[in-house]
Chain A
Amino acid sequence: MGKLFAAVVFVITLISVAIFVMHTWWLPIDISTTGPAVDRQMNDTMIGTGILFLAGQLVLGVFVWGSSSRKSGRKIRIFPGGATPLVTAAIILVGLEILTLTFVGSKAWGAIYLTPPAANSLRVDVQAEQFAFYFRYPGPDGQFGGLHPDKIDDGSGNYFGLDPANDIAARDDIVVGSLVVPVNRPVELTLHSKDVGHSFYVRELRVQQDFVPGLDIPLHFTATQTGKFEIVCTQLCGLGHYNMKAYLEVMPEDQWEQWLKSQAGQ
């Protein structure tokens, strides 16, 4: 029975690891300036923990195999050195792993969340609601109009609650259903929620950030490749949660400017 247990653990472990190693299912391409650090961290963690996983399962299997020996007159044996070497090994090995991961990983985190956006960032306001995202550009005046929740009216397309009658800055604000940005230019988002919690997740950007009702949450990124990518909601927001999505379209700068002009003209 012990040998069977060991064999099953070996097979499960090897199949599990092989699928990780072969990258059968893996992260999609990365299109952001901060993404490579996240991917490096993911790889380092994968290797470090992969070794721990393999070692843990295989040693367990080997010991269980040994413990099933039916040799007559066999006596029990205590682990060489008792608990002390194991406790010491755990503290040193896991301690080192933790220190490394923390020092390297906190840089990757800091680059996304603790570094202020560049001064020339394109500012875009994002409003999330059950079950859609809307994006607002400040228009030619470079100013966003104020937000008035009492003016929100999906029927007339006033998703942000703008008040163009009394607010000059709001008159030229451009509101669209896709996040369209120029390639290689820093983008600074401000996330608002109309109703409940939502989240902004673009796998290819390696960023995820919740919308918190009542708070304006900043998030910035720089896309390095053109293309169309899915923005999905990852914070449970109600019955249509699974279907709440929008697209991130990354364009060459000149094409983006044309797009913006065409939107402003509407």
Chain B
Amino acid sequence: MHETSEHAVHQHAPPTSFIRKHIFSLDHKVIGKQYYGLALLAVFIGMVLSWLMRIHLAWPTWPIPGLDKLSAVGAPAGVMTPEYYLSLMTMHGTIMVFFVLTNAPFAAFGNYFLPIQIGAEDMAFPRFNMMSFWTTFTAFLVMIAAFFVTDGPPISGWTAYAPLSAVGKDAGPGLAMGQNLWAISIAIFCIGSLLGALNFIATTLDLRTKGMSLSRMPYSTWAWFVTAVISLLAFAVLLPACILLILDRTAGTSFFIPSGLVLSDRLQPHAGGSVLLWQHLFWFFGHPEVYIAILPSIGIVCHILPVFARKPLLGPRATIGCMIAIGFLSYMVWGHHMFVSGMNPFSANLFSVPTLIITIPATILTLLLIGTVYGAKMRFTTPALFCLGFISVFISGGISGFFLAQPSLDTYLHATYFVVAHFHFVMAVASIFGVFAATYFWFPKMYGRMMSDTLGKWHFWLTFIGVYCIFMPMHYLGLAGNVRRYSAFVDDYLIALIPVHKFITIAALATGAAQLIFLFNLIWSRFRGPIAPDNPWEGTSLEWSTTSPPPFDNFGGRHMVVYQGPNEYGVEGTANDYVMQTSPEKIVTG
């Protein structure tokens, strides 16, 4: 059944020492788990930061126990200062976008499962792979170090708009060493991501096993591949942008700083720079980054949903076409973040139209997922619920895009909580739902043990209802003109909205607490979960053709040959209702 394939030749021997096995490992599976662990640590920090922010917004005078230990200056007696709020906000956004949403759905699961799903024994460049994780880890340490410098983390937001981010300490607290560490960390992160992206692309193109044509690749692999291409182009722009920012801050250059600026009563010694240049470079990365966060989760859901629907995904070619279209269009729309930035207002129309056009492939993907649910024999496991939840939150987040893509409405809604609601739903929550689905789905493969389905379902329901309670009201706040990035609401019309903020804060604390169920389930199942069979969900793709967990070389010396697409569910006339990708049997369609 399994023939020898010239591609599947292992490039390195199994390690024997603890360090090479678990720390500086070349094995893509270990590296995938390392990325997952890093994302888990990062999401925990990011979530606690959001709790602190939410408590401060709802009850600004409440002392938060222990916060003064983290920063005596930023939170004297536990009550945070306005600048410390902005520091925590900057770190929340940065940590979540870079170290969670980029790492978890793409780097973590992609690393672990892309090689297995295409029948390879490892990534194309295992040393690069190890390097990209440790580079990313270094970036994380540098970012976290910003908490411990004298005046705290930067206050310029995850977008680090110049000149606030570029002129240094004269612009305010956190903008000296804190902002330096931010820029250095992101530059290092870019290097790690570029290495990772190259590796994903090379692996997908070169290491597919015999019979694994592009059209037979699982949707998750397709999504990781398209995401890698987007990453390669996006981080290649952010890296030089960060280097220029570092030079402006430390070497006296003026890429982003024009002449004639007076800060802290001091005429700044800069001339000739362009403030909008930073915004163009940042958003040329920043918008594709949204798709770097969401596409892997779309692919994961397209991969998982058919397994539990027990029927093939509707429109496989359209699905892949839409992913590619979204990737392509993601490079033409960055200006929609800049409608009111002072950029030539004629260009607003130019950026608005492709932005609206992206809603077409996004709508098609959503409809195909909904159409897949039609007439299914759904098995309501935890990963299936998270897939269905994904569809719901993706609709909710996508819909508000129609508003923000229009310059004439953005002029009212820009920089309000409407935007916060939009990107949290479509980019953060949807992406994280994909990560949850992936975790419950692949955990048995990764650790050889099942996760608790009962705890998983509790986790799902509390999270699903919770995220709606947190983010749906933010649309109403945005419509009322509630500006984001305010550390307190002192304007007359904003004071009237504080009760809504209190509701959101309570929902955020409860939803956050529900994540402890997930954490407990993860740790408990790792050691105490029931032993997982090789193919617990009756899936077809190659990861289910090997042991749980897979051996060091993924297939125990076997060279897999692929005969089918990944989508053969609900097949009649076979022993089961599905046909594995490795099964040579002929499928009679009728």
Contacts and interface: CB of A to CB of B under 8 A. Distances in A.
A60 B391 contact: yes
A176 interface: no
Contacts of B63: none
Given A56-B366, A207-B411, A106 B163 contact: no
Interface centre among B260, B274, B396 (most CB of A within 10 A): B260
A239 B82 contact: yes
A90 interface: yes
Interface in A79-109: 79, 82-83, 86-87, 89-91, 94-95, 97-98, 101-102, 105-106, 108-109
B412 A237 contact: no
Contacts of A149: 259-262, 267
Interface string A30-72: 0000000110011001001100110011011001101110000
B415 A90 contact: no
A119 interface: no
B373 A67 contact: yes
Nearest to B414: A208
Interface in B146-184: 155-157, 161, 163-164, 167, 171-173
Contacts of A165: none
Contact of A109 (B360, B388, B407, B487): B407
A195 B372 CA distance: 54
Interface centre among A63, A129, A201 (most CB of B within 10 A): A63
Contact of B263 (A48, A49, A64, A196): A196
B527 to A, nearest CB: 28
Interface centre among B155, B318, B367, B385 (most CB of A within 10 A): B367
B341 interface: yes
A126 interface: no
A10 B214 CA distance: 39
Given A49-B399, A83-B318, A208-B415, A236 B468 contact: no
A195 B261 contact: yes
Interface in B390-417: 391-392, 395-396, 399-400, 402-403, 406-409, 411-412, 414-416
Contacts of B409: 38, 41-42, 45, 105
A195 B341 contact: no
B175 to A, nearest CB: 8
Q: Give the bracket for the number of chain A residues in contact with chain B.
A: 35 or more
Contacts of A199: 340, 415
Contacts of A206: 411-412
A214 B273 contact: yes
A102 B406 CA distance: 7
Contact of A79 (B258, B318, B374, B464): B374
Contacts of A245: 491
Interface centre among A24, A41, A67, A82 (most CB of B within 10 A): A67
Contact of B314 (A1, A37, A79, A242): A79
Interface centre among A16, A25, A114, A194 (most CB of B within 10 A): A25
Given A26-B480, A239-B81, A109 B403 contact: no
B493 A77 contact: no
Contacts, number: 309
B481 A209 contact: no
Nearest to B166: A196
A157 interface: no
Contact of A239 (B86, B260, B265): B86
B353 to A, nearest CB: 6
Interface residues of B, number: 105
Given A90-B360, A214-B260, A234-B415, A45 B155 contact: no
A263 interface: no
Interface in A232-251: 232-243, 245
Given A101-B406, A194-B262, A208 B370 contact: no
Nearest to B314: A83
Contacts of B6: none
Contacts of A213: 163, 257-258, 261, 275
B398 to A, nearest CB: 9
B406 A105 contact: yes
B352 A210 contact: no
Contacts of B263: 130, 195-196
Interface stretch (B126-134, B471-479, B540-548, B555-563): B471-479
B340 A210 contact: yes
B368 A86 contact: yes
B359 A45 contact: no
Interface string A216-237: 0100000000000010111111
A169 interface: no
A232 to B, nearest CB: 6
Contacts of B368: 83, 86-87
Given A1-B380, A209-B342, A214-B260, A98 B412 contact: no
Interface string A162-185: 000000000000000000000000
B385 A41 contact: no
Contacts of B392: 9, 12, 57, 60
B395 A56 contact: yes
Nearest to A48: B402
B262 A109 contact: no
B276 A67 contact: no
Contacts of B346: 114
Contacts of A108: 408
Contact of B352 (A9, A38, A48, A102): A102
Contacts of B376: 63, 67, 76
Contact of B490 (A42, A68, A150, A243): A243
Interface string A186-197: 000000011111
A121 to B, nearest CB: 17
Interface of A: 1-2, 5, 8-9, 12, 16, 19-20, 24-28, 37-38, 41-42, 45, 48-49, 52-53, 56-57, 59-60, 63-64, 66-68, 74, 76-79, 82-83, 86-87, 89-91, 94-95, 97-98, 101-102, 105-106, 108-109, 112-114, 129-130, 149-150, 152-154, 161, 193-197, 199, 201, 203, 206-215, 217, 230, 232-243, 245
22 contacts: A25-B480, A49-B402, A57-B396, A60-B373, A63-B374, A67-B377, A76-B376, A98-B356, A101-B402, A113-B345, A130-B263, A153-B265, A196-B164, A199-B340, A206-B412, A210-B340, A213-B163, A236-B485, A238-B83, A238-B155, A242-B489, A243-B488
Across the A-B interface, give the 6 residue pairs with the lowest CB-CB distance, nearest first: A214-B258, A83-B315, A77-B375, A1-B380, A149-B260, A113-B345
Interface of B: 81-83, 86, 155-157, 161, 163-164, 167, 171-173, 257-263, 265, 267, 273-276, 309-311, 314-315, 318, 340-342, 345-346, 348-349, 352-353, 356-357, 359-360, 363-364, 366-368, 370-378, 380, 385, 388, 391-392, 395-396, 399-400, 402-403, 406-409, 411-412, 414-416, 457, 461, 464-465, 468, 472, 475-477, 479-481, 483, 485-493, 497, 500, 570
Given A45-B402, A215-B342, 14 more contacts: A28-B480, A38-B412, A76-B375, A79-B314, A83-B315, A86-B371, A90-B363, A91-B364, A101-B406, A102-B406, A215-B258, A215-B276, A242-B488, A243-B488
